[in-house]
Structures are given as C-alpha cells and as structure tokens.
Structure 1
Amino acid sequence: MAYVTLRLNTATKVLLLASIGILLTSSCTTQTFDSTEAMWEYLNDPENEYLHQKTINGVDFSLVYKPTDLLVHQELGADKSQVKVDSLRAKYSKYLYFNLSMSKNNQELLSNVAADKQRFGAMVNQLAFSMDQKVHLYTAQKDTIPMADFIYPRMYGMSGATTILIVYPRKNEVTNSEFMTLSIEDLGFYTGEVKFKIPAKIFSNEPKLNFNK
C-alpha cells in the first residue's frame, strides 16, 4: 500500500508542476497588437493593471502606464524597418512613461480656478515647472526614483482634463520591485496626498505593437 501511495503522490506532483508551468508561461506571454487603438483598449481595461483611477473630493485622477512601443509609434514615421524599430525601442525603453490626467467637473484643473487670478497664476506655474516636486515614485522599500522629465501641454480649456506625461528612468530598483507607489501631493483641491499602487510586472511584460503587419 505504501508503494501505491508513493506513486500517487509522485503523479500528483508531476501534474501540479505541469499546471504551474502552464500558468507561468501563459502569464508571461507578451500581448502584441496590430494597432494603437487595440493597445489602448487593452491598457484602459483596469483588470490589466495598466490603468489606475481614483476620485477624491470631486477631483478625478487617472494614471496609465504608456508602453515603449507607443512612443516608438509616435516617432516611427514612414520608415518601419526592423532596424529603425529596434533603434527607437532601445531609445525609449530606458524610461517609464505615465499619463497622469486630473479633472474636476469634467474640466481641466485650471478651468476650476480661472476666476481667481492669483490662484490661477500659481497653478499655471506649478503645472508647468514644479510637478517633479509634487509627484513621487518609490519602491516597496521606500526608495525614491527621481523623475527624469515631465511634459505639460497647455490646452487653454479645450480639454476635459489636465494631462501630464511623466517620465522616470527604468532602473533595476523599479523592475525588480514587487510594486511601485506613485503619489501626488495636494495641488490645492483638498484631496490630500493621492497614492497609486502599481505592480512592477507591467513594466517587464508590457504589450508591444506589430510594426511588420
């Protein structure tokens, strides 16, 4: 009877190992899309963990990670040779890109303070020059990753949200961490500090575009 039990246990272990291998393989499969529209649809599904959203004191926050290939697509132009694609991927993969959108009453933040000239001017200055002091990215071990750059395009009330492209270096502390936390200090709308917990796996297994379709 002991021999039979041993055989059953061994068989069970083999099945379990095989199942785990299948799960790991499927979870590490890189998603590839034929269009940016299809990729954005995937990114904007919260279940895929690229998009994070919160509403605090009437302010809507939306944070989405922007994969390397979207930056490649923006610069690629007519030359879609593999050499060009590889070159641009090498250029942009050194950094992590996030789109941070903030709105109140379905308007840009500036539109909500337009009547107060002093507050309006202070917020313009803050959004244009000081977001690296207001937005912070740090690891689970509380190691801060300095912001590399940010881009705030003025939309002059023509958009429903204030959107900023935030750029961080792709450091080992980021990719090797279980998760990252991105925090946004109160920008004057009494939200307090707003935090997003981001799984680091999305950086190492980000979706790609099929440039050779």
Structure 2
Amino acid sequence: MNKLIIILTGYVLLTSCSTKTFDSSEALLVYIKEPGNEYVYTKTVNGVDFSLLYKPTDILVHQEITGKPSEGEIDSLRNKYKKYLYFTLSMSKNNQELLSNVAKDKQRFGAMVNELAFGMEEKVHLYTPKKDTIMMADYIYPRMYGTSGATTMLFVYPREEKVTNAEFMTFTVGDVGLYKGEVKFKIPTKIMNNEPKLKF
C-alpha cells in the first residue's frame, strides 16, 4: 500500500512539473492570459487598471521567426531570449491610454510623456524576497497616440540566479501621475523556471 502511495505521489509530482507544450502561439497566449495559470496579474488603483503579463521565451522566439525555421535557428533564438525575463505592463484609465486622460493639461501631458519615455527605470522595480533589486536591462514604450485602449510597455530584466532561486519576485510600479503610491505584484518564479513551450 505504501509503495503504491509513493508511486502515485511521484507521478503527480512528475506530471505537475512537466513543461507544457503548445502547437500554436495563439494557444500559448490563451494559456498565459488565463489568471489561474499565474502568468497574468491585474489590479485597479484609484481608477487606473493595471495588467502585468510575464512573457515566456518562446513567445519572443515566435515573433522573430519567418518561414520554416531549422532546429539550429530555434535553439539559437531560445538561447538569445532565455537570458532575460520579459514583462508586459498595461495601464489604462476609462479604457484609454494614460496620456488620453491628461490631454487637455499641456504641462501634465508633457511631464507624463517624459516620464513614460525616459523615467520608468526610476518608477518600475523587480526585487527578490531579500530585497535584492534586479537591474532593468531595457524597456520599450511605443507611442500609440490615442489609438490603443491602454498604455502598454515591455520591461526586460536579466535572468539572474537570485531570481530563479527565489520562491517569488515582486514587481512594483511607482506613481506616474494618475494614482498615488506604489502598485505591487507578487510573481512566483515557478512560471519562469518551468515556462510553456511552442512546437516549432
């Protein structure tokens, strides 16, 4: 009886830790956008809606592939992108970009454009349970000029051992002018250490 319990326990642990693989990028996106899978997090603070999405390596690889790639090309791209962690942060108010909510105030508009384009390294942070800060490698703020329902940015961090060895990471967003205080997201590192993959 005890032997059977041990075998069943081992099977459950093995299947729960196995890497999920998807036939298409659409299926993978559906999976990571399901809150129960812990890749996406949402909060609303003072009327501002926040959505934070962790993007697995193969999403980035897929975006760069054209045609039918060879196994060597896929491995090369995976090695390139897996060195980093990628987070997409979306912020909106009244289902609009943040800038759309201050458009009539030229001074605030200019200050927020400057903040979003050049100052997010001071506003957005990723750190371990021991409060070790992970230095941001890069971030991208594409101007949408009011054509999108949210201000969406990509943040890139190095995949350091102190990240992968921790139980969770904390991602924080400081005040950019439409809300007060700091918004925090607690992210389990198991989603980074056991990322879903694509069949290329």
TM-score relative to the length of structure 1: 0.91
The corresponding residue for 1:172 is 161
The corresponding residue for 1:31 is 20
Q: What whole-Å deviation, never above 9, does each CA across 1:98-124 have from its counterpart, x for those lacking one?
A: 000000000000000111100000100
SS in 1 for 2:117: helix
Check whether the contact 2:164–2:189 (CA below 8 A) recurs between aligned residues.
Answer: yes
The corresponding residue for 2:46 is 57
Q: Does the alignment pair 1:144 with 2:111?
A: no
Check whether the contact 1:152–1:165 (CA below 8 A) recurs between aligned residues.
Answer: yes
SS in 2 for 1:159: coil
Shift of 1:15: 3.3
Pick one of 52, 55, 61 that aligns with 1:66. Answer: 55
The corresponding residue for 2:74 is 85
Q: Gaps (5+ residues) in structure 2?
A: none
TM-score relative to the length of structure 2: 0.97
**RMSD (Å) for aligned C-alpha atoms:** 1.0
Structure 1 residue ranges (4+ consecutive) displaced by more than 3 angstroms after TM superposition? none
The corresponding residue for 2:64 is 75
The corresponding residue for 1:6 is none
Q: Which structure has the greater CA radius of gyration? A: 1
Check whether the contact 1:59–1:191 (CA below 8 A) recurs between aligned residues.
Answer: no
The corresponding residue for 1:3 is none
Q: What whole-Å deviation, never above 9, does each CA across 1:98-156 have from its counterpart, x for those lacking one?
A: 00000000000000011110000010011111111100000011110010000000000
Shift of 1:16: 3.3
Q: Gaps (5+ residues) in structure 1?
A: 1-10
Shift of 1:21: 1.0
Query: 1:149-164 alignment to 2 at 5 Å?
Result: 149-164=138-153
